[in-house]
Structure 1
């Protein structure tokens, strides 16, 4: 074999982009620590969540999504990016989602800060449409679990899990800790 094009190399746009995000998270975590890296990635997640929410509300021709539509959107967006999320249960107080695969695939293992994309996208969409969300990452593939279990609390004060989660408020930017960006960095 004399030509690069003939080489059997597992590289495509998807693998390249997942690797890029992982290495950015790795660099951030090693330079500023997990909490600060999570905060920076949260900023990106918030912007992406706003953009995705705008796409769905426009496509569905509504000003705001209903609770059922929010649940459907959270599942649909993850399906579109190969996250394979599904609803475990839902009611007026919370939406519980699960998955056995991550859009970042194996690149997420050991990189908890990357989970802030899910937290912020879910939290931003739920809060923009329903006024409030608290996203609790109960189990994550990044932390070594076989799958993820994410609880989106829709009523303040109802989250009582091991991970208190992050809160998101309506159309106003979230409150920010040390990064000055509107997110509470734990």
Structure 2
């Protein structure tokens, strides 16, 4: 009877050691950690208006972001800025192509100006985001500025597309502009959502 009890205790001790080792392996397993990071991105993106686009752009940065609301906001803001710069450059090049009618030319130049403002505002948001620390005394003020500038960038994107409304603008130029600017509007909206979430921490 005593020997059986001893064997049982030994078995339980070995089982406990193995369980602790297994849990430790899971905690440090880079594959498991990477999956957890992607889950965080997926769950966060599901709270935005554009979850699929959000996950498409942010999932490659999952291991950098991990589960940090600040890094999530900062990365999404950086993506929106990069996309806006690229789109602004593309539309500026498009405005210099031959064969445009005067209405198209004017709308494209107006759009370039609006997107230039958007780039400036997103750059300002990025600079302020670098200073923002949820434990800092001026955190709320900085986040309010970032929210204001990012909202202004979103408005500028929307104003750009206003110039392409109406039957006079039906055609390939309108399709290209609305497609590209529509995407940066969505990316900026995603960034603003995560900025708002971080501001609430």
Q: TM-score, with normalisation over the residues of structure 2?
A: 0.29
Q: Judging by fraction of residues, say which structure has more strand.
A: 1
Q: Which protein has the larger Cα radius of gyration, Structure 1 or Structure 2?
A: 2
Greater RCO, 1 or 2 (C-alpha within 8 Å, sep 6+): 2
Q: Judging by fraction of residues, say which structure has more helix.
A: 2
Q: TM-score, with normalisation over the residues of structure 1?
A: 0.31
